[in-house]
Amino acid sequence: MTESSESYTVSSSEKLPQMDLSHFGGRGYDSINELMRAIILRTIEDFNSGGEFRAEALEYLFNEEEEYIFSFNAICRHIGFDPEKTRNSIIHATHRISTRRRAA
């Protein structure tokens, strides 16, 4: 059974969904990268909160597990950051790191 190419034709008046290519150096929006970014930002937020949240954030930051795709080290490497330098930057920040997303 073959399908006609007409079923895949988009008229010029229809607007196709667009991607914001400003994310990650023009490589386009990637839901996995956004999830990884959100995990790191949540860790920073928890670290700044103190108490139990801070303890859990520190545990996450210093977990050396390499196999887990969403471990701190794996996320840093995926994004292109050095995990040790990133960890030190978070812990020894001289000012509060903003975790709010800017409007596009």
Residue 62 contacts by C-beta under 8 Å, 6 or more apart in sequence?
A: 72, 87
Instruction: Name the domain count of the chain.
Output: 1
Q: Is residue 103 in a domain?
A: no
How many Cβ atoms sit within 10 Å of the Cβ of residue 70? 14
Distance CA 40, CA 57 (A): 10
- The 10s digit of each residue's pLDDT in 20-49 is 444 555 555 678 888 998 999 999 999 999
Task: Tell me the residue range of the domain where 71 lies.
Answer: 29-91
Contact assessment for residue 82 and residue 89, using Cβ atoms and an 8 Å cutoff = no
Contact assessment for residue 90 and residue 61, using Cβ atoms and an 8 Å cutoff = yes
Residues found in the chain: 104
Q: Is residue 22 in a domain?
A: no
Q: Is residue 12 in a domain?
A: no
Can you give the pLDDT of all 104 residues of the chain as single tens digits? 555 444 444 445 555 444 444 455 555 567 888 899 899 999 999 999 989 999 999 999 999 887 889 999 999 998 889 999 999 999 998 888 777 765 54
Q: Is residue 98 in a domain?
A: no
Distance CA 65, CA 102 (A): 31
Q: Is residue 68 in a domain?
A: yes
Q: Is residue 65 in a domain?
A: yes
Distance CA 83, CA 90 (A): 11
Q: Is residue 35 in a domain?
A: yes
Q: Is residue 4 in a domain?
A: no
